[in-house]
Amino acid sequence: MQKQPFGVLLKRAARLACPRCGEGRLFAGFFRMHTRCDNCNLKYERDHGYFLGSTYINYGLTAVTITVSYIVLHFMLEIDNRTLAVPLTAISVVVPLLFFRYARSLWLAMDCFFDTTGFESDDG
């Protein structure tokens, strides 16, 4: 298999599509992934704990969201900390849930780009 350009992989990740063929869907439900691509048979979870790395992506996005929100709301709009505590806590719970699928698809796309091992064949 020819190595896919990173832009193509990012577009497939944004569509929650298979990084190899771009046709198969990654998720069967909001949190439940398909085991393999129904189009090209790529195994999504490469090994046990494979998607642990996606939690770092998810955590990073959440941290950036909270930090930017706090800076804008507290320092620019001058909203006090007591008022911000509950909404920012809610954001820190909701953002990881909403970004869960995209963190996994981005992780899969990055792995497909940086280490093509196992993405060439249906064996994995």
Contact residues for Zn ion (CB under 5 A)?
A: 18, 20-21, 24, 37, 39-40, 42
Least Å distance, CB 52 to Zn ion, is: 22
Q: Toward Zn ion, which CB reaches closer, 6 or 56?
A: 6
Least Å distance, CB 17 to Zn ion, is: 8
Q: Is residue 108 classed exposed, middle or buried when 0-12, 13-18 and 19+ CB atoms within 10 A define those classes?
A: buried
| DSSP per-residue codes, 9-59 | HHHHHHTTB-TTTS-SBSBSSSSPBPSB-TTT--BSS-STTTTHHHHHHHH
Q: Toward Zn ion, which CB reaches closer, 10 or 88?
A: 10
CA–CA dist 109, 113 (Å, integer):
6
Least Å distance, CB 21 to Zn ion, is: 3
Q: Toward Zn ion, which CB reaches closer, 39 or 116?
A: 39
